[in-house]
């Protein structure tokens, strides 16, 4: 698998840190304990196309939203996470 960083170009996954589901949103500070527990501990186990956060830790230090197929590792898109957030965070 190769990730095409918008800043650095195509790089191997060893240059990145995987941060998981790009659709998670932090609860409000006053959210219930159950909401916080779900946010911190519960994750889906999807198959197929999925949007994930990756951090280019050995490169430009950019946060990226990578859409890929979790079965084949085919990558469909790579965007800066800040650009996704500016579009309304529809990760």
The minimum distance between CB 70 and Zn ion, in angstroms, equals 22
Which DSSP category does 35 fall into?
H
Under rule CB under 5 A, residue 78 binds Zn ion: no
Provide Rg for the chain, Cα atoms: 14
Distance CA 33, CA 11 (A): 40
Per-residue CA distances from 60 to 6, 8, 34, 51 (Å): 10, 7, 36, 20
Closest to Zn ion by CB, 54 vs 91, is 54
What gap in Å lies between CA 15 and CA 3, rounded to an integer? 9
Which part of the chain contacts Zn ion (CB under 5 A), choosing from 29-37, 47-55, 58-66, 67-75? 58-66
Quick note: the x/- pattern for Zn ion over 9-48, rule CB under 5 A, is: ----------------------------------------
Let me know the angle formed at the C-alpha of 28 by 53 and 52, rounded to the nearest 5 degrees.
10
Q: How far is the CB of 29 from Zn ion (least distance, A)?
A: 32
| Residue 60 binds Zn ion (CB under 5 A) | yes
Q: Which residues in this chain contact Zn ion in the complex, by CB under 5 A?
A: 5, 7-8, 56, 59-60
């Amino acid at each position: 698998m190769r990730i095409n960083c918008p800043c650095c170009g195509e790089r191997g996954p060893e240059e990145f840190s995987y941060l998981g589901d790009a659709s998670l949103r932090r609860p409000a500070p006053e959210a219930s304990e159950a909401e916080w527990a779900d946010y911190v501990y519960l994750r889906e186990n999807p198959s197929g196309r999925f949007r994930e956060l990756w951090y280019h830790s050995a490169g430009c230090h950019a946060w990226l939203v990578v859409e890929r197929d979790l079965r084949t590792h085919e990558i469909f898109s790579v965007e800066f996470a800040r650009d996704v957030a500016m579009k309304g965070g529809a990760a």
